[in-house]
Amino acid sequence: MSKTQSISTGEKTSRIQKLNRQRILKAALDIFARYGYRGSTIAQISESADMSKANILYYYKSKNDIYVAVLEETLTKWLTPLTELNPEGDPATEIWSYVQTKLALSKAQPEASKLFANEILQGAPMIHEYLETDLKQMVNEKCSIIQHWIDQGKLVNVSPLHLLFFIWASTQHYADFSTQTEILADNPDALFDDAERTLKTLLLNGLLPR
């Protein structure tokens, strides 16, 4: 086999491996979100992914490894928008952009939020260290940005930390309690449009000085 053929074959294998890993993680996310870590099995993930157990265990050695990989991917997707809060930007624009992104994620990937919520409800056994270190540091940094905006008179005097809690609660509610919100909504198709308009009115009217 020529060097070019070898590289081509290697690239193809890497693409297939990447696709298979994503296929496993997507199936695992749904299973873990529905049944929790203890209630989930590799057999369930295997069936959902339409892959053999042996094939799944080729990529991940155990259920724990799959769970950690799913959590890491979930945290990356859900926390990246917070890292993009720009201290040089307009506070209303930056905060509202963050809220919109969180709502969009709740709509597109409710299972990810449910998985994270289940992990927290169990006492965060797999990500406790991450919460105490990386997440706490990131939240402290973003709270400092919000406090700076407050000190400049660009936002009313609120607790930056509790503002973030409010945003998380009001956006992730639509993912974590999707069954309830869809049943109670008169028009489920307009649920997120209505949520966006309501949150924008409440947040910006409450945060911007008059």
DSSP string, 77-102: HHHHHHHT--TTS-HHHHHHHHHHHH
User: Over 80: is that where the pLDDT of 6 sits?
Assistant: no
The pLDDT tens digits of the residues spanning 76-125 come to: 888 889 999 999 999 999 999 999 999 999 999 999 999 999 899 989 99
Res. 10 pLDDT band, cuts 50 70 90: low
Give the pLDDT score at 77. Answer: 85
Which distant-in-sequence residues (6+ apart) come within 8 Å of 95 by Cβ?
Answer: 85, 146, 167, 203, 207
Give the pLDDT score at 45. Answer: 96
Of 210, 17, 207, which Cα lies nearest the Cα of 98? 207
Quote the percentage of the chain above a pLDDT of 90.
73
User: Over 90: is that where the pLDDT of 1 sits?
Assistant: no
Average per-residue pLDDT in the chain?
91
| Mean pLDDT for the stretch of residues 58-72 | 93
Question: pTM score > 0.85 for this model?
Answer: no
Quote the percentage of the chain above a pLDDT of 70.
94
Give the pLDDT score at 197. Answer: 96
Give the pLDDT score at 39. Answer: 92
The pLDDT tens digits of the residues spanning 169-203 come to: 999 999 999 999 999 999 989 999 999 999 999 99
Give the pLDDT score at 79. Answer: 85
Is the Cβ–Cβ distance between 48 and 27 less than 8 Å?
Answer: yes
Of 99, 97, 102, 106, which Cα lies nearest the Cα of 182? 106
